């Protein structure tokens, strides 16, 4: 098990490096976010032992159970919140996550702005989630509303928006979605583009991703 995860980890890092070297649009720095949802703490420990420190979790509840004691042992961990966030979980999310990648609607922006000054806030940066495929069941601001929403969050709400995030539709080529996200980020000079998962991270890196969110390719299939 340990050997398998170490091998997958190195393969993924090598693949990212290779694609970066070959692709004119690739970012100079690409962060590997290890998506540890549903993974027991023992699996996370194996990655920590390899020196990895950047992780993503989907649910506030699960993150609160797993991460506070890992942080005591590894204070340089960076934890990103990447799953849908309800406004009644905002305070807890602001204490748990260094980055929240799922700012996707005005009501959530209002709530984040309202609680930003709270004591014990850990969150330093926000990414706006864009629903590039305009899927009704998926979270994210629609592409045609993204420009206004980004300006409003940074301007009126004074929120530190540093990037964009997308999850392309499952059954189509992801490249146009990554290109669209990159283009919206470019218009607003946003430095971070969180795009690419286990199945498509190489394509995302080719198209300028600064952060790939990889779960199953790293940890194996989730239970």
Ligand X SMILES: *Cc1c(COP(=O)(O)O)cnc(C)c1O
- What is the rounded CA–CA span in Å between residue 55 and residue 100? 12
Cβ-based nearer residue to ligand X, 177 or 187: 177
Query: How many CB atoms are located within 10 Å of the residue 30 CB?
Result: 21
Cβ-based nearer residue to ligand X, 4 or 216: 216
Q: Are 209 and 196 in contact (CB under 8 A)?
A: yes
Smallest distance from ligand X to CB 84, Å: 9
Q: Are 206 and 25 in contact (CB under 8 A)?
A: yes
Smallest distance from ligand X to CB 28, Å: 22
Instruction: Output DSSP code: residue 130.
Output: B
Cβ-based nearer residue to ligand X, 205 or 214: 214
Smallest distance from ligand X to CB 72, Å: 26
Cβ-based nearer residue to ligand X, 37 or 154: 37
Smallest distance from ligand X to CB 116, Å: 23
- What is the rounded CA–CA span in Å between residue 55 and residue 33? 5
Binding site for ligand X (CB under 6 A): 35, 37, 58, 82-83, 167, 197-199, 213-217
- What is the rounded CA–CA span in Å between residue 182 and residue 160? 18
Positions of E strands within 75-124: 78-81, 99-103
Cβ-based nearer residue to ligand X, 95 or 198: 198
Largest CA distance in the chain: 50
Burial 65-79 (b: 16+ CB within 10 A, else e): ebbeebeeeeeebeb
- What is the rounded CA–CA span in Å between residue 40 and residue 53? 16
Smallest distance from ligand X to CB 21, Å: 23
Smallest distance from ligand X to CB 131, Å: 12
Q: Which residue is nearest to ligand X (CB)?
A: 215
Cβ-based nearer residue to ligand X, 187 or 199: 199
Pairing of strands 192-194, 125-129: unpaired
């Amino acid at each position: 098990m340990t050997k398998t995860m170490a091998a997958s980890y190195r393969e993924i890092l090598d693949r990212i490096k290779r694609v970066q070297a070959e692709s004119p649009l690739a970012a100079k720095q690409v962060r590997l976010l290890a998506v540890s949802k549903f993974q027991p703490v023992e699996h996370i420990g194996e990655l920590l032992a390899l020196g990895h420190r950047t992780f993503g979790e989907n649910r506030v509840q699960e993150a609160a159970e797993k991460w506070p004691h890992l942080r005591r042992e590894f204070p340089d961990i960076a934890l990103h919140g990447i799953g849908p966030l309800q406004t009644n979980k905002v305070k807890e999310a602001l204490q748990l996550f260094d980055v929240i990648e799922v700012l996707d609607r005005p009501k959530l922006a209002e709530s984040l702005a309202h609680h930003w000054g709270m004591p014990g806030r850990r969150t330093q940066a926000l990414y706006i989630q864009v629903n590039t495929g305009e899927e009704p069941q998926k979270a994210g601001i629609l592409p045609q509303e993204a420009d206004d929403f980004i300006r409003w969050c940074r301007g009126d709400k004074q929120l530190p928006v540093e990037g964009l995030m997308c999850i392309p539709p499952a059954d189509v080529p992801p490249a146009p979605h990554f290109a669209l996200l990159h283009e919206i980020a470019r218009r607003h000079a946003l430095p971070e583009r969180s795009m690419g998962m286990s199945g498509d991270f190489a394509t995302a890196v080719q198209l300028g991703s600064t952060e790939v969110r990889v779960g199953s390719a790293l940890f194996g299939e989730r239970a």
